[in-house]
Structure 1
Amino acid sequence: MRAFRSAIGSLPWLVLTVSRFANADCECGYSVNKTSDAHFGLFTELQENDFLHHKGDNVTKFGWRPQEFNVSKGDSTNPYGKDFELHNLELNPLKDAQSWSGESENGGDAGLKLWVRGDHSHGYVSSAELASVRSDVLYGSVRVGMKLGQTGTCGAFFYFFNNSQEIDMEFLSREFNNSQGAVNLVLQSPETAITHDAVNSSTYHVQHLDFRPDRGFHEYRFDWTPNRVAFFIDGEFVYDMTENIPSVGGHLQMNHWSNGNPLWSGGPPNEDTPMTISYVKAYFNSSETAPHETYKERCPTLDPAKVCQIPDQSKAPNGNDAKTYFFSQDGPGKTPGQETFTLTSKASNSLAPSLPLSISVIVALFGWALL
């Protein structure tokens, strides 16, 4: 792992001219526009989930492992403990597998629901958490379509290795007013792991939003590279951080919880309330050796024409805009060597990315560290 991180840090930036970029398959990976139209990072791995159409009662087969544990309330600042339970996870797809909006099988919003329960008479608030099966996510562009809970909860989507290597996007429903909301952006550090006080650190930022996150789906995204984490809302860059950047492979996680702490989660709610996920899209590099060997087999020599650009979600994914692009739905050439999951019964995807026939980009060759 140390050799991998050192190689990552020493990689040069390479100027490339890409021809017929839009029509290429993706043997050599995926690139993402960061904050400038001229700069791209190269990522070799992919995981996509379309929870508007995932069926069943086993989220692990879709690449996510339920977390079951409890946390005592600790001191008097937390009126309740937290109890993360399997039954609070619900796959609730659309009734019509051919559509991208409409009625869901179990009522309410379609998607993966993480419930916080209203009955906390036993001293714990029943909550939900998931972690990606893959624990080797090291740098990447990660996006989630999400609608938050409505009262007295904390909903979060984040990368996690340990308490000092963590990238958080956390939503507190108590911070939502009549028409606006906020998201707490945090990079944890060795100092915050000791003090448990990220709010007063240099890598904490409250990003105010001109909408309420509990009244519709929006895309929340972070692009993580060795020297920077950039945050986006509905495809628009909003903030970045350059300190305390995580440098080891870990999990992606999401949770929805409350312990009644008035300084953070607030609540707890007096009725069951869900946080709903419509999709997750993760394009990343691996901290493990085996994926790099697989990558070398499909891309022995870097061919920029076989690097696919990840399209941005420039609108809130609601209604007619809920249909978003998935490489996994665009044929096996778009996901060579990748483990993919069933999206819908449709074989085509009309939202394929397009670019001019020739475009100059700067590619960070993170994926080539162990080649």
Structure 2
Amino acid sequence: MFSAMLLALVPFVGAKTLSVDFSEYNSSMTVSEFLSAKGFMINTYDVDGGDPYNRTYEADNVGIADGYLTLKVTGGTKPGSNVPSACIQTIDSNIVSGTFKTTAIASDVEGVCHGFFTFESNSQESDIEILTSFLYSGNDAVNGGLQLTNQANNGNSSQNTRKAVPYPADPTAGQHEYTLEWSSGSSKFFFDGSEVATINENVPTAPSAFLVNAWSGGNPNFTAGPPTEDAILRVSKIEYVYETL
């Protein structure tokens, strides 16, 4: 009844739980210290994704304010420069299955991607992505809607298994729950507790981390942008239950 029953958060034998309410943060700890204590790390590296702009994940673009984890894509990047972006991930990188619920408010600034995803490599990845330029309508290369993808296991991105589903509610107008349930046979996707899609092909099999990011590559057929002003993903809660090797 109700896919929301999932959010008994699939009980696993020997499962590990990461639960974070960002309203509990206080400035006695740095953001990095707080995240580390909760089982997360801030990523700081460059990404060359073959887009018009590369991106740099910067620690300064990760903050906690007013009860939210904030992941910022800095606006106004000039051609030839990397787009300052933000990313956190679980310290555990040997996850093999789990249920990952992230409660967040998307930016209404066009030109960025917000991602909630498992990742081992570009061929072992299951994604929930919000493209702020394509919330409701798309173009010849990308459909509007919530982007749900299992990356092709053979590394050929043209063979990715993807779906774009209409948003049941405006992702920029308030908090919504984005949930990925990853098992050996499927990736199931939920919005506010209701299942919106299942993908049974190209399901990741490699031990992985779980990441949350905000970024832009300036690709008109994906993120578009980069944004002309700061675009901020706000995360209020994280609830992850998963198995590791």
Give the TM-score taking structure 2 as reference length. Answer: 0.85
Q: In the alignment, is residue 51 of structure 1 matched against residue 22 of structure 2? A: yes
Task: Give the corresponding residue for 1:157.
Answer: 116
SS of 1:276's equivalent in the other structure is strand
SS of 1:215's equivalent in the other structure is coil
Task: Give the corresponding residue for 1:327.
Answer: none
The change in CA–CA distance for 1:207 and 1:177 in structure 2 (over 3 A counts) is: closer
Structure 1: where are the runs of 5+ without partners?
1-31, 93-103, 105-109, 288-371
Q: CA deviation at 1:41?
A: 5.3
Aligned letter for 1:63?
G
Aligned letter for 1:79?
P
- Render the CA deviation track for 1:331-367: whole Å, top value 9, x for unaligned: xxxxxxxxxxxxxxxxxxxxxxxxxxxxxxxxxxxxx
CA RMSD across the alignment: 2.3
Out of 90, 98, 102, which is 2:63 matched to?
Answer: 90
Out of 100, 110, 113, which is 2:70 matched to?
Answer: 113
Task: Give the corresponding residue for 1:240.
Answer: 198
Deviates more, 1:212-221 or 1:43-52: 43-52
Q: CA deviation at 1:62?
A: 2.3
Equivalent pairs counted in the alignment come to: 227
Distance 2:52 2:230 in 1: 18
Q: In the alignment, is residue 64 of structure 1 matched against residue 27 of structure 2? A: no
Q: In the alignment, is residue 218 of structure 1 matched against residue 181 of structure 2? A: no
The change in CA–CA distance for 1:177 and 1:188 in structure 2 (over 3 A counts) is: closer
Task: Give the corresponding residue for 2:129.
Answer: 170
Task: Give the corresponding residue for 2:226.
Answer: 268
Distance 2:207 2:244 in 1: 7
Q: CA deviation at 1:129?
A: 0.9
Q: CA deviation at 1:240?
A: 0.7
Aligned letter for 1:280?
I
Distance 1:91 1:252 in 2: 19
Work out which of the two has the higher radius of gyration on C-alpha atoms and give 1 or 2. Answer: 1
SS of 1:209's equivalent in the other structure is coil
Q: CA deviation at 1:126?
A: 0.6
Distance 1:34 1:258 in 2: 32
SS of 1:52's equivalent in the other structure is helix
CA contact (8 A) 2:115 2:213 kept: yes
Give the TM-score taking structure 1 as reference length. Answer: 0.57
Structure 2: where are the runs of 5+ without partners?
138-143
SS of 1:145's equivalent in the other structure is strand
Task: Give the corresponding residue for 1:42.
Answer: 12
Deviates more, 1:206-215 or 1:253-262: 206-215
User: Which structure shows the higher helix fraction?
Assistant: 1
SS of 2:12's equivalent in the other structure is strand
Identity %: 26
Q: CA deviation at 1:134?
A: 1.1
The change in CA–CA distance for 1:255 and 1:139 in structure 2 (over 3 A counts) is: same
Distance 2:126 2:54 in 1: 24
Task: Give the corresponding residue for 1:123.
Answer: 81
Out of 185, 191, 200, which is 2:148 matched to?
Answer: 185
Distance 2:202 2:165 in 1: 19
